[in-house]
């Protein structure tokens, strides 16, 4: 933690001293749902890459994860905040990313601001 006047004392009022935790930019969290599984290698290297590149025309994907519990769900953390709404994110991702991959013609069918990440290191990919 950092404050304008050095370390926070054990008895300090944190709200009054305005502490800041420097861990990166504030993020918006979204989930996108596809009409097919995103877990095949062709989808990871093709379709998901296209989705991420499309999104990054307006914002930066800080991290993403295909949900281990639901392989049709792509969770995203994006900055700057406010770059996308769920509706504009869905439109942007679908405009540039729709490709046939893994024998499927994938398309994103919905988006919401409710991403949930699994914390196991092998299940998410920082960008």
CA pair distance 22, 17, nearest whole angstrom: 15
Q: Quick check: 119 pLDDT over 80?
A: no
* Residue 4 forms part of a structural domain: no
pLDDT digits (tens, 9 = 90+) for 70-108: 899 999 999 999 999 999 999 998 876 555 455 567 788
92: three-class secondary structure by DSSP: helix
Please state the φ and ψ torsions of residue 42, each to the nearest 5 degrees: -65, -35
What is the distance between the terminal CA atoms of the chain, rounded to a whole angstrom? 25
* Residue 21 forms part of a structural domain: no
* Residue 35 forms part of a structural domain: yes
* Residue 5 forms part of a structural domain: no
Of 83, 63, 74, 78, nearest in space to 107 by CA: 74
pLDDT digits (tens, 9 = 90+) for 9-28: 555 555 555 555 556 788 99
49: three-class secondary structure by DSSP: helix
* Residue 93 forms part of a structural domain: yes
* Residue 102 forms part of a structural domain: yes
CA pair distance 106, 61, nearest whole angstrom: 20
Q: Which CATH number is 45's domain given?
A: 3.30.70
Tokens 């004392």 found at: 9
Q: Quick check: 45 pLDDT over 50?
A: yes
Number of separate domains in the chain = 1
CA pair distance 116, 122, nearest whole angstrom: 15
The boundaries of the domain holding residue 61 are 28-126
């Amino acid at each position: 933690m950092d404050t304008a006047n050095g370390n926070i004392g054990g008895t300090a009022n944190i709200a009054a001293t305005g502490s800041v935790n420097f861990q990166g930019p504030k993020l918006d969290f979204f989930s996108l749902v596809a009409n097919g599984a995103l877990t095949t290698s062709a989808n990871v290297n093709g379709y998901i890459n296209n989705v991420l590149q499309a999104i990054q025309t307006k914002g930066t994907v800080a991290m993403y994860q295909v949900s281990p519990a639901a392989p049709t769900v792509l969770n995203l953390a994006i900055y700057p905040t406010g770059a996308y709404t769920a509706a504009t994110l869905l439109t942007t991702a679908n405009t540039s990313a729709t490709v046939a991959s893994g024998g499927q013609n994938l398309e994103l069918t919905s988006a919401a601001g409710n991403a949930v990440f699994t914390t196991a290191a092998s299940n998410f990919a920082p960008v």
